[in-house]
Amino acid sequence: MPGPAIVVEQLVREFRKGPRAVDGINLEVSPGEIYGFLGPNGAGKSTTVLMLTTLLPPTSGRASVGGFDIVHEGAHVRASIGAALQEAALDAILTGREHLMLQATLQGIPKATRVRRADELLERVGLVEAANRRVGGYSGGMKRRLDLALALVHSPSILFLDEPTTGLDLQSRTALWDEVARLAHDEGMTVFLTTQYLEEADALADRVGIIDHGKIVAEDTPAKLKAEIGSPTVEVLPADLATGDAIAEALGRFGSPTRGGRGSLTVQLPDGEAQLAELVRVLDQAGLHVASLHLHQPSLDDVFLAKTGRKLEGAAEEDPDATPEETTKRSRRRRGR
Ligand SMILES: Nc1ncnc2c1ncn2[C@@H]1O[C@H](COP(=O)(O)OP(=O)(O)O)[C@@H](O)[C@H]1O
Ligand SMILES: [Mg+2]
């Protein structure tokens, strides 16, 4: 595909009785790239995905997906994309295979190839054993994998995943990460994925856009975003509390250490983690013993904190736009998955 897979320019969505859910965002996603859209509850992730998948008209701005305008060429956009959305409706009384057959029919897959396509996808997402069981008995992880298979039925070139792993246990989460990474790296699929988990954005995304209150506050590769925050810090726990001052003095050559709980001392390594060896040598030469050393690399959470003044984890609870009713509805949905 020539040109970018997704282009978004000054995209805005206002709700009549609500906030500016999406407030003038710009972004570009290259073919075969995994773009992670990271932000807390209520940030505007789903609203963005709904616009890019043509399910919700923008208030202003423009966007193209697969080279097609989302407002004027909706049918072409829909033919190029697959989407697994947060509100995905699976029918509890249908089996996994029946869902896939139905979707294949809706997508106009010829009758002769429908069964083969369903089998292929069941195999790919690891639902062969459960294929003929009703979805009502599936676990949250199995439902998400079926959602993914359904989005892939017509072999789209661009895939939208809205919080595909929210509420899943770590094992189901990493299984889904592997599959998404394989789709992008082996098949060149473009993936636009929203998440509120920084580990997910970090592990999976080639590039991350951090969204907060409808605005993109930072965008780059995870490595560059973290590098921008600065160098790593080392937390030193003295073996003997009485040596705390001596250790603080020895660490002084790297910067001024801050004191934490249990007598710990934390200092930033201005030249990066390579200085860890020097730090150990300095302490050793001074005859100072430590109980533990902990290297802390900047995380995407530190990036979010630096850009917004809040921690990403738990940021939703402080979201002034979220009504209590919405918050309950959301957490119920998360638990139910
Ligand atoms: N249909 C709607 N009507 C009014 N406000 C809405 C509607 N959908 C979303 N919002 C509001 O828009 C903001 C962004 O929501 P959303 O895009 O769902 O965020 P996210 O997916 O990042 O959790 C929130 O403040 C939310 O309450
Ligand atoms: Mg959402």
Which numbered ligand comes closest to the C-alpha of 48? 1
Q: How far is CA 315 from CA 89, 167, 169, 311, in A?
A: 28, 17, 21, 6
| Domain boundary pick from 197, 226, 255 | 226
200 and 257 fall within a common domain: no
Q: What pLDDT shows up at residue 313? A: 73
* pLDDT tens readout for residues 138-174: 998 899 999 999 999 999 999 999 999 988 888 889 9
Q: What pLDDT shows up at residue 335? A: 37
Work out how many domains the chain is built from and give that number: 2
State percent of the chain over pLDDT 70.
Answer: 92
DSSP lists the bridge partners of residue 70 as: none
201 C-alpha vs ligand 2 centroid, how far in Å? 15
The best mutation among 13, 37, 47, 196 to test binding of ligand 1, ranked by most ligand atoms within 8 Å of the C-beta, falls on 47
Q: How far is CA 248 from CA 204, 235, 243, in A?
A: 39, 11, 9
pTM: 0.82
| Domain boundary pick from 187, 206, 226 | 226
The two tokens of residue 95 are: 């089996």
176: nearest Cα among 146, 196, 156, 131:
146
CATH code of 290's domain:
3.30.70
Per the structure, the complete domain to which residue 69 belongs is given by 6-226
DSSP 8-state class, residue 288? -
Say if ligand 1 is within 6 A of residue 321 CB.
yes
221 and 243 fall within a common domain: no
Rounded distance between C-alpha atoms, residue 205 and residue 248, angstroms: 39
Q: What pLDDT shows up at residue 314? A: 64
90 and 63 fall within a common domain: yes
Say if ligand 1 is within 6 A of residue 19 CB.
yes
Say if ligand 1 is within 6 A of residue 61 CB.
no
141 and 156 fall within a common domain: yes
82 and 37 fall within a common domain: yes
Does 329 fall in a domain? no
Contact between 300 and 208 under an 8 Å Cβ cutoff? The reply is yes
Of the ranges 80-89, 190-199, 243-252, which one carries the lowest mean pLDDT score? Answer: 80-89
* pLDDT tens readout for residues 47-70: 999 999 999 999 999 999 999 999
The best mutation among 12, 15, 45, 48 to test binding of ligand 1, ranked by most ligand atoms within 8 Å of the C-beta, falls on 15
Indicate the average pLDDT of the chain.
89
